[in-house]
């Protein structure tokens, strides 16, 4: 964005378009390059405009078209998630939620993204519809067999593939642009925070509602759980997306604060955890469940690093955060090495299975990505490189994960004969 602003500093229409397309990135980029362009009349104008916006930008609640679109999409998602009840489908034997719940959530998000984008391409809409149809048909034609490791891997990885499709929709199918990939990653972090806040508020409302009705002898627990709670869960991401789009002032303040607070806490927790492992007597080499938890923790920490990098880049006072991220990346590399050694050990002892192959390759991909991120963070802390370098590394590596997800979903079940 910084380069685009500098290139078009004498083109008012282009600057206005850049501002409207991505207000956050524009404001951040303009602030960073302002000392270089402050002598131009256009820079002075934009400085006054942005400063005025900051001083008057208060959170306002209104009822525009977007809110009705959001409500309609939430109701549609609620209808889809209630299909088993409406058509008497046995969800235990059909695995409806395992197969279709994530698809329904990302379908709703994609519909909302198209609905609020007044200039979307019909070709992009057609591609999106086709991919959703193929994904739904494919996953629902797989055998309902919980003992099949390769099929269970499809259930786990299909949401990742649909998430990538939502990324294409969100970026208006311009996924080749690293800047838009970064913005999509940042959007997911913001949406996770906003979704958590919505669910916490919804949980409090649920407890109050059930308690109030119990006090007068009316039991609404089953109705609330089966309808309000379930529909609320699939609607929360869409509501989060609506809030992020319409109340950017609110979200821009919350997300960087969360990243700043939690990154050091996670770093301290991980260091203590690594010290506690040998004391506890547990090890991932002989304990399969511990190895599984270890890998889940690794994925979560990796996601936190990615999110924290994107949020820290918004903050001008970020030296401490950059150092914390560097140390966090090093600790996560150690965790990854332990997990990899345990996986290789179990492969030698117990042989190759779909689960072990999937976990092995996933860990190797994460390990390579972590090395690249750690190198960038080292350069940022000790070579005075910009934090955007890490964001570019993360965005460029995303296609590697996408290729592996496609292999797990469409190739592994065939290789292992759906076992």
Residue 12: Cβ within 10 Å count: 12
Which tens digits make up the pLDDT trace of 370-412?
Answer: 999 999 999 988 887 777 788 888 888 889 999 999 999 999 8
Residue 291 has pLDDT above 80, yes or no: no
Check: CB of residue 310 under 8 Å from CB of residue 255. no
**Chain CA centroid to CA 157, Å:** 14
Residue 262 has pLDDT above 60, yes or no: yes
More confident residue, 191 or 11: 191
**Three-state SS at 176:** coil
Check: CB of residue 356 under 8 Å from CB of residue 288. no
> Quick one: pLDDT band at residue 239, thresholds 50, 70, 90?
very high
Residue where the block lists tokens 């089953």? 222
Check: CB of residue 106 under 8 Å from CB of residue 159. yes
Residue where the block lists tokens 């990302």? 106
Computed from CA positions of residues 230, 194, 250, 30, in that sequence, does the dihedral angle turn out positive or negative? negative
Q: What is the mean pLDDT of residues 34-58?
A: 67
Q: What is the mean pLDDT of residues 26-53?
A: 73
The domain locations on the chain are 2-54, 65-246, 257-415
Which tens digits make up the pLDDT trace of 191-221?
Answer: 888 888 899 998 898 899 888 888 888 888 8
Q: Residues 207, 296, 95, 405: what is their CA dihedral angle, to the nearest 10 degrees?
A: 130
Check: CB of residue 50 under 8 Å from CB of residue 25. no
Q: Which pLDDT score is estimated for 64?
A: 56
Average pLDDT, the chain: 83
For the whole model, what pTM was predicted?
0.79
């Amino acid at each position: 964005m910084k380069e685009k602003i500098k290139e078009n500093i004498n083109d008012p229409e282009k600057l206005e378009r850049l501002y409207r397309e991505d207000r956050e990135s524009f404001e951040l980029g303009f602030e960073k390059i302002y000392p270089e362009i402050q002598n131009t009349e256009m820079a002075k104008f934009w400085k006054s405009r942005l400063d005025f916006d900051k001083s008057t930008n208060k959170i306002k609640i209104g009822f525009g078209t977007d809110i009705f679109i959001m409500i309609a999409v939430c109701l549609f998602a609620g209808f889809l998630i209630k299909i088993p009840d409406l058509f008497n489908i046995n969800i235990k034997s059909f695995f409806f939620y395992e197969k279709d719940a994530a698809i329904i959530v990302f379908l709703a998000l994609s519909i909302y993204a198209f609905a609020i984008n007044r200039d979307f391409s019909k070709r992009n809409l057609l591609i999106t519809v086709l991919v959703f149809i193929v994904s739904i048909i494919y996953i629902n034609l797989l055998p309902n067999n919980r003992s099949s490791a390769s099929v269970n891997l499809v259930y786990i990885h299909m949401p990742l593939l649909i998430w990538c499709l939502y990324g294409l929709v969100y970026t208006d199918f311009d996924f080749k642009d690293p800047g838009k990939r970064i913005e999509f990653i940042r959007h997911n972090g913001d949406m996770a925070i906003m979704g958590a806040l919505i669910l916490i508020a919804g949980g409090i409302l649920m407890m109050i509602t059930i308690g109030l009705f119990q006090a007068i002898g009316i039991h609404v627990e089953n109705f609330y759980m089966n309808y309000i709670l379930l529909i609320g869960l699939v609607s929360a991401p869409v509501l989060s997306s609506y809030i992020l789009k319409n109340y950017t002032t609110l979200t821009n303040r919350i997300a960087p604060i969360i990243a700043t607070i939690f990154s050091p806490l996670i770093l301290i927790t991980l260091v203590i955890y690594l010290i506690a492992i040998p004391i506890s007597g547990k090890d991932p080499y002989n304990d399969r469940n511990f190895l599984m938890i270890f890998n889940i923790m690794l994925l979560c920490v990796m996601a936190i690093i990615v999110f924290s990098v994107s949020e820290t880049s918004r903050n001008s006072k970020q030296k401490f955060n950059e150092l914390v991220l560097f140390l966090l990346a090093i600790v996560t590399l150690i965790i990854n090495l332990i997990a990899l050694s345990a996986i290789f050990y179990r492969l030698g002892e117990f042989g190759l299975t779909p689960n072990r192959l999937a976990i092995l390759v996933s860990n190797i991909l994460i390990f390579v990505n972590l090395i690249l991120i750690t190198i960038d963070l080292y350069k940022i802390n000790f070579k005075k490189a910009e934090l955007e370098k890490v964001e570019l590394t993360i965005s460029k590596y995303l296609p590697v994960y996408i290729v592996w997800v496609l292999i797990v979903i469409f190739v592994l079940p065939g290789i292992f004969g759906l076992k």
